[in-house]
Structure formats: structure tokens, C-alpha cells
Amino acid sequence: MRKKVSIVGAGQVGATTAQRIFEKQYADVVLIDIVEGLPQGKALDMLESGPVVGSDAQVIGTNDYKDTANSDIVVITSGVARKPGMSRDDLLFTNMKIMDSVTSEIVKYSPETIIIVVTNPLDAMAQRVYQSSGLPREKVIGQSGVLDTARFRTFLAQELNVSIRDIQAYVLGGHGDTMVPVLGYTTVGGVPVSELISEKRLGEIIKRTQDGGAEIVSLLKTGSAYYAPSAGVAEMVDSIILNQHRILPCAAYLTGEYGINNLYVGVPVKIGSSGIEEIIQINLSNEEQAMLNASADAVQELIDVMSKQ
Ligand code: APR
């Protein structure tokens, strides 16, 4: 029997994620949204692509959480996206309420599931879902580091005119302006990036990575990124469904790792069929650790604001 992946939110990120997973065939997909007809229409359209793309997987659209019952993974993309001039934090209260309502429905029908949170502001939303789901921390994972790292790798590959496959990098911390590219672990064909690109130019590339989401928002004007975010989710889903034990930068609930307590922050984690198998602790320079602390403080501020609501 195929695995089951449900995706909450049939908007840009949700539908693109559904398509990527449907085409892999290892799981049947349920797309759910509050808007009637939207998930049904997109799912039927996707299903009808099956004969052409060669997928025998099933994909259905629904407005009823009963259809998500016994999901192996639920991906949460529901919520509002940014408009030009907005920061991810501007979405806080609206998306917080949406997290609360969708999480209770998810765990009611899939009490054993693994949840991947994509909705922004990512780290705060992951924390909200973790707290309201009652699931262990291994089973609530935030997607952002894979995306931020993908952006960083893209810009480095362009800069050096090399294959993206030969660029290894980590972008840690919160999914926001305070994210932390870790240069000590960023290599091109095994060569440390700082030997290949000047400090000044690296600084510009890091800045573009940190502003990567805003760059897309200002171009699109009516929405935010979805191709790269959905690719990031699909890589995490692969590692869980296929038990790949990939080491990926993801938002995880830290209980002392990196000196950070009781907070979702992006760090390297090993992911397999049970969710997070291990939080990997890499050595950070003093400056990187200070940046990570500042990033954690920014996440904590949002958590504090939410708790006063
Ligand atoms: N339950 C289910 N679906 C909901 C709910 C809810 N309570 N509230 C909103 N939605 C749905 C909307 O109807 C819409 O179809 O969530 C979908 C969001 O889709 P888009 O507006 O296209 O947003 P998208 O670009 O997919 O981004 C979603 O992911 O990357 C983040 O910042 C982004 O927080 C945003 C989220």
C-alpha cells in the first residue's frame, strides 16, 4: 500500500507540493483547503496528468479532514502569504489562528502523523503547531533551512559557474532576516568557499540569500515563492517516506542544543521514517554562534507576542 501525504492549503505552495509528491508515486496525496472546489479542482486536474507523467498515485481534493485520516505526513501550507512591503512577521496573528484550527483537525484524524510546517513566520508557526498538537518534537518539523540553503547554493553556483551539485552549504537560524549562512561548512567541490570568493562579495551573496523571499515577493507583487519552497518540502518528504536519513537544515525544537532552549530554530537534523532522528551539532565560530543567538532571540520575540494574545 502506498503511504499517505496530506497537504493543508491548496494555494501556490500546497498545490505545487502536491504535484511534486504525486509525480514521485510513493504516496497518495490529499489536498485540503477551506475554499470549496479549489482543492477538488486542482486535485482532479493533477490526477488527469497521471497518464502523461506516468503516475498511478491517487490525489484527491477535499474540505473534510476525515479524508486525511491516517496520514503518514501532513504538510501545513495554509495561511496568508506576504504582499510587497510585508515581512513574514506581519502574518503572525492571522496564521497563528489558522495553525490552531488546522492542527486540532489534523491530530484528531492522524494522531501518529509527522507534521511539516511551511506557513510563515515559519519558526513561530512550527512552535505553535508543536505546542497545540501534543506530538513529540521529533514529529513536528519546520521547512525553511532547505529553502534558504537552496537559495544560497543557487547564488554561489551562479557566481562561480559550477554545478549546484558540487556546492554544500548550511543556512541555519530562523527563517528571516537573521538567518545564518555557516561559511565554515560551505564548500565548492570540497574547497572552502572563502578561498574562492572574496569576503565582500560573499557578504553580498549572503545578503541576497537573507532577502531571497522578499526579492520574489517584490517581483510577483501578488504572492510569495512556491517552486523552491515546495521543492524543499518534497526533499524532506522523500527522506521520511523513503527512510533516507538525510541530513537537512530544518526548524527543530531545541532543548539545549546550540545553547538554545525550548525554541524552534533552523539547525541540521537527520530525518528518517520516524521524523527527526538526531539534531546534529556542528561547530560554529563565535561570530556564527552570536548570529544564531540573535536569530533565536528574534524567534523568541514572536513567541512572546503570541503568548500574550
Ligand atoms: N484551512 C485550510 N486552508 C486554509 C485556511 C484554513 N483555515 N486558511 C487559509 N487557507 C488556504 C487558503 O484558502 C489558500 O488556498 O491556504 C491557502 C494559501 O495559499 P496561498 O494564498 O496561495 O499562499 P501560498 O503562497 O501557498 O503560501 C502559504 O506558505 O511559504 C508560506 O509565507 C507563505 O505563509 C504562507 C504559506
Domain ranges of the chain: 3-142, 145-307
Q: What is the DSSP string of the chain?
A: --EEEEEE--SHHHHHHHHHHHHH-SEEEEEE-SSSSHHHHHHHHHHTTHHHHT----EEEES-GGGGTT-SEEEE--SPPP-TT--GGGGHHHHHHHHHHHHHHHHHH-TT-EEEE-PSSHHHHHHHHHHHH---GGGEEE--HHHHHHHHHHHHHHHHT--GGGEE--EEB-SSTT-EE-GGG-EETTEEGGGTS-HHHHHHHHHHHHTHHHHHHHHHSS----HHHHHHHHHHHHHHHTT--EEEEEEEEEESGGG-EEEEEEEEEEEETTEEEEE------HHHHHHHHHHHHHHHHHHHHHHT-
In CATH, the architecture of 3-142 is: 3-Layer(aba) Sandwich (3.40)
Which of 33, 38, 87, 220 should be mutated for ligand 1, with most atoms under 8 A from CB?
33
**Ligand 1 first shell, C-beta below 6 A:** 8-14, 33-35, 38, 77-79, 81-82, 91, 95, 98, 101-102, 118-120, 223-224, 226, 229
Residue nearest to atom 25 of ligand 1 (CA): 12
* Rounded distance from Cα 118 to ligand 1 centre (Å): 10
Please state which CATH class domain 145-307 belongs to: alpha beta
Write down the pTM of the prediction: 0.97
* Residues annotated as part of the active site: 175
Which of 224, 226, 227 should be mutated for ligand 1, with most atoms under 8 A from CB?
224
Model confidence pLDDT, tens digit, residues 141-183? 999 899 999 999 999 999 999 999 999 999 999 888 889 999 9
Model confidence pLDDT, tens digit, residues 28-70? 999 999 999 999 999 999 999 999 999 999 999 999 999 999 9
Model confidence pLDDT, tens digit, residues 96-149? 999 999 999 999 999 999 999 999 999 999 999 999 999 999 999 999 899 999
